[in-house]
């Protein structure tokens, strides 16, 4: 049974978007701020779905935010799973589950669970994130106990990234 050209094209797009989601995580956790911002379109947006979370627009602000994130809550590890993708030509949308952990000398802490909702664009031969919304059903998890201590400065810094 042969596959149609459209089927193969859709499969390739899905693989490339999955790769994009993986590159986001690897760049954020282990790469440079420029690599991380490079997975977004020039006017890409990262925002939270709840009050108090930042809204960052554009590569320069994304680079600045990445530096602040690493400075305030270092050694984060993002795990993204269960990727759903809906293709629409040179645009697509997606959802994926997010689990975040923090590695510290005394322990590995689960920080929070949530999900991403994304919009993607095919630009100059590659897929990029045009918009990523972080959903945290229980943001209070980052404000109590040892995790709360580690995240205090991060939440203060987020005030600089609100429109």
Summarize the confidence of residues 117-137 as an average pLDDT.
Answer: 97
Average of per-residue pLDDT values in the chain? 93
What separation, in Å, do the N-terminal and C-terminal C-alpha atoms of the chain show?
53
Spell out the domain ranges in the chain.
Answer: 5-161
For residue 125, is pLDDT > 80? yes
For 41, residues 6+ apart whose C-beta sits below 8 A from its C-beta are 121, 123, 128, 129, 130
List pLDDT tens digits, range 56-83. 999 999 999 999 999 999 899 999 999 9
Summarize the confidence of residues 130-146 as an average pLDDT.
Answer: 92
- Looking at residue 47, its pLDDT comes to 95
Count of alpha carbons within 13 angstroms of residue 11, beta-carbon side: 6
Its CATH class, for the domain covering 5-161, is alpha beta
Angle subtended at Cα 58 by Cα 54 and Cα 60, rounded to the nearest 5 degrees:
95
Strands 107-123 and 40-48 turn out to be unpaired
DSSP state of 93: E
**17 CB burial (10 A radius; 0-12, 13-18, 19+):** buried
In 3D, which of 78, 85, 69 has the Cα closest to residue 119?
85
- Looking at residue 163, its pLDDT comes to 64
List pLDDT tens digits, range 30-58. 999 999 999 999 999 999 998 778 899 99
């Amino acid at each position: 049974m042969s596959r149609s050209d459209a089927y193969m094209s859709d499969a390739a797009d899905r693989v490339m978007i999955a790769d994009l989601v993986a590159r986001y995580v690897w760049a954020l956790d282990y790469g440079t701020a420029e690599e991380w911002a490079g997975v977004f379109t020039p006017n890409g947006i990262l925002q939270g779905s709840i009050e108090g979370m930042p809204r960052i627009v554009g590569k320069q602000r994304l680079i600045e935010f990445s530096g602040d994130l690493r400075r305030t809550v270092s050694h984060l590890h993002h795990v993204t799973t269960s990727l759903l993708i809906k293709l629409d030509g040179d645009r697509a949308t997606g959802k994926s589950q997010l689990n975040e952990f923090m590695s510290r000398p005394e322990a590995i802490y689960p920080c929070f669970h949530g999900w991403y909702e994304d919009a993607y664009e095919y630009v100059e031969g590659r897929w990029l994130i045009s918009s990523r919304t972080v959903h945290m059903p229980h943001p209070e998890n980052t404000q109590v106990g040892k995790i709360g201590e580690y995240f205090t400065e991060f939440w203060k810094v987020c005030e600089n990234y609100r429109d």
